[in-house]
Amino acid sequence: MLSVAPPGAPGATPEAFVMDPSLRDKIEQIADRHEELAAMLCEPEVLEDKEQFLKVNREHADLNPVAEAFGRWRKLESDLDEARELLADPDMKDLAREDVSRLEGERELLEAELTKLLIPKDPNDSKNVVLEIRSGAGGEEAALFAADLWRMYSRFAERQGWSIEPMGHSEASAGGLKDVTGLIKGKDVYAKLKFEKGVHRVQRVPATESQGRIHTSTATVAIMPEAEDVDIDINPADIKFEKMRASGAGGQHVNTTDSAVRLTHVPTGIAVHVQQEKSQTKNREIAMVRLRSRLLQIEIDKYESERAASRKSQVGSGDRSEKVRTYNFPQDRITDHRVGLTRHNLEAFMNGEIDDVIEALRTNDEAERLAEMRESAGA
C-alpha cells in the first residue's frame, strides 16, 4: 500500500511519506519496461514488422499512464528534497515549509493515482454486451416489469450514444415480455453494465389490482460480453443444430417457413432459440453470438466466484441468484443491496437515468480490487 501521513499531522516527518516498497518495485518495473518498449519502437526490425510494431506499440501505450505518473512522482520527490534543504535557511524557512506542505499534499494525491492505475483492468470492459432480460416470479406483472427494464436499458444506451439491436423476444398476453435479448454496441459497454446482472425486484400495485395491494415480482438480467471467435473456441462437433418453424407474431413468414433455429452446446446443455429474422442463416448467426457470449460469461462467473471465495465474501459478486436491486414504486425508491445505496425519483431512473448507481457499483468494485492488490503486495 502507499503509506502517507496527512500534511501537518503530528509526526509527519519526511520519512512518514514512504511508498510501499513492493508497490514501488512494481511501478519501477513498469517504468523500465516502458523505456525498453520505447527503444524497441525505434529499431528497424520492429518498424519493418507491422504485426510486431503494433504489438509493441499497444503495450507501450498501455503502460504509458503509469510511467507518466511515476515520472511526475519522481519529479515531486526531487522538488521535496530541495525544499527540505531550504528548511535549514532562516531566511527561507517559512517559504520552504509552505512548499514542503504543498508538495507532500500533491504527492499524496499522485500516490493514490498511481495505486489506482495499478489495479488490474477487466479485459472485457471494452466489449459490446448481449443483454438478456427474463420475467421471474409474479406472472404477468413480472413480464410487465421485464418490459420496463428493457425500456430502461434502451434509454440508458441512447443517452450513452450506444446502439441496441434486438435479437429476439417473447411477449406475454398482458403486453409485457417473457424474455427479450439485444446486442448493445458502443464504447466501454461491458465496463458500465456488467454490474447490472442479477435478480431485480419490483414492488408496486399492478394495474389489474382492484384492492390496491402491493405485489412483489422479479426479473432476471444477464449481461454478457459479446464473445469473438478468439475468446471462445467452440468445437463444431459440440453444436447440435435444429431448424424449426417460427411461431408467434412477426409477419407473414411466421408459421410458413422453417426460419427459426435452435443451437445446443452439448457439453454444457446450453440451448439458444432464435426466430428474430426471416432468414435462417441470419438467425443462426444471431444464435452463435448469443451462445458464444453465454459460454464466455460462464468463464467470467467462474473466475468471479473464485475471486469472491478467496476474499470470503460474495458481496457484489453478481451471482444471478442474488437479489441485486429493489424498485419500490409506492415509496418512489430504488435500493441497490450490494452497495447499500438508496435513491429516489423512480420515474427518472426507469427512463434511463441510472448513471449514479452504476458509478457507485464501479467504485465499489474498484475499492475491492484495490484491497486485493494491497493484500497481495503485503503478502
pLDDT tens for each residue of 289-335: 888 888 877 877 776 675 555 444 333 333 334 689 999 999 999 99
Q: Where are the alpha helices (DSSP H) in the chain?
A: 21-40, 44-48, 50-85, 93-118, 139-160, 189-193, 280-310, 346-350, 355-378
Q: Is residue 379 a part of any domain in this protein? A: no
Domain boundary among 93, 118, 143: 118
The span from the CA of 114 to the CA of 117, in Å, is 5
Q: Which residues of the chain have pLDDT under 70?
A: 1-20, 208, 210, 228-233, 245-258, 303-304, 306-322, 374, 376-379
Do 166 and 63 lie in one domain? The reply is no
Residue 363 sits in a domain whose CATH number is: 3.30.70.1660
Q: Look at residue 259 in the predicted model and tell me its pLDDT.
A: 78
pLDDT of residue 218: 93
Residue 33 is predicted with a pLDDT of: 94
In a domain, 377, yes or no: no
Q: What is the DSSP string of 211-239?
A: T---EEEEEEEEEEEPPPTTT----GGGE
Same domain, yes or no: 133 and 111 = no
**Residue 28 and residue 140 share a domain:** no
Find the length of the chain. Answer: 379
338/154 Cα distance (integer angstroms): 23
pLDDT of residue 104: 92
Q: Are 241 and 322 contained in the same domain?
A: yes
Question: What per-residue confidence (pLDDT) applies to 247?
Answer: 61
Integer angstrom CA distances of residue 255 from 96, 243, 258, 263: 84, 13, 8, 19
Identify whether the C-beta of residue 214 lies closer than 8 Å to the C-beta of residue 203: yes
> Last residue of some domain: 90, 118, 146?
118
Q: Which pLDDT score is estimated for 224?
A: 87
75 plus 137 within the same structural domain: no
Total tally of structural domains belonging to the chain: 2
Question: Could you say which of 84, 118, 152 is where a domain stops?
Answer: 118
**Domain residue limits at 56:** 2-118
Same domain, 66 and 178: no
How many CB atoms are closer than 10 A to CB 44? 7
- Predicted confidence at residue 312, as pLDDT, reads 43
134 and 114 within one domain: no
Let me know whether 72 and 164 are in one domain.
no
375 belongs to a structural domain = no
> Are 187 and 314 part of one and the same domain?
yes
